[in-house]
Amino acid sequence: DGGITQSPKYLFRKEGQNVTLSCEQNLNHDAMYWYRQDPGQGLRLIYYSQIVNDFQKGDIAEGYSVSREKKESFPLTVTSAQKNPTAFYLCASSIGGQGSSYNEQFFGPGTRLTVL
């Protein structure tokens, strides 16, 4: 069964702690993305990766870090420097490649992070 998995679904952390959110895909997609969703707002891009061992900052990268050591995996770390980390985090992937006709994004189920 192909798709994107994110774990855990709900995550609670104390203020000042770093936390890593998991994202795995078995769609053989080159491109992967992390978004943050807050109530009343659209999806805001945190980081994206076009290929293994390469990634770029999105619109709101401050306080976050990522790695892309494997094609299937794109974990996101929410660091203690992120001032307002409580949010719904969505991971997505797409076939990738500039000029690709098929760059629709497939989303995982999301992780709801609450920092206490």
Partner 1 sequence: GQQVMQIPQYQHVQEGEDFTTYCNSSTTLSNIQWYKQRPGGHPVFLIQLVKSGEVKKQKRLTFQFGEAKKNSSLHITATQTTDVGTYFCAGDRGTSYGKLTFGQGTILTVHP
22 touches partner 1 (CB under 8 A):
no
CA distance 23 to 6: 5
**What one-letter code names the amino acid at 31?**
A
Residues 6+ away with beta carbon under 8 Å from 15:
80, 115, 116
19 touches partner 1 (CB under 8 A):
no
Tokens for 104, please give them: 């629709």
Residue span binding partner 1 (CB under 8 A) among the ranges 10-18, 61-69, 78-86, 90-98: 90-98
Site for partner 1 in 61-80 (CB under 8 A): none
Residues at the interface with partner 1 (CB under 8 A): 31, 33, 35, 40-45, 48, 50, 56, 58-59, 90, 92, 94, 96-101, 103-110
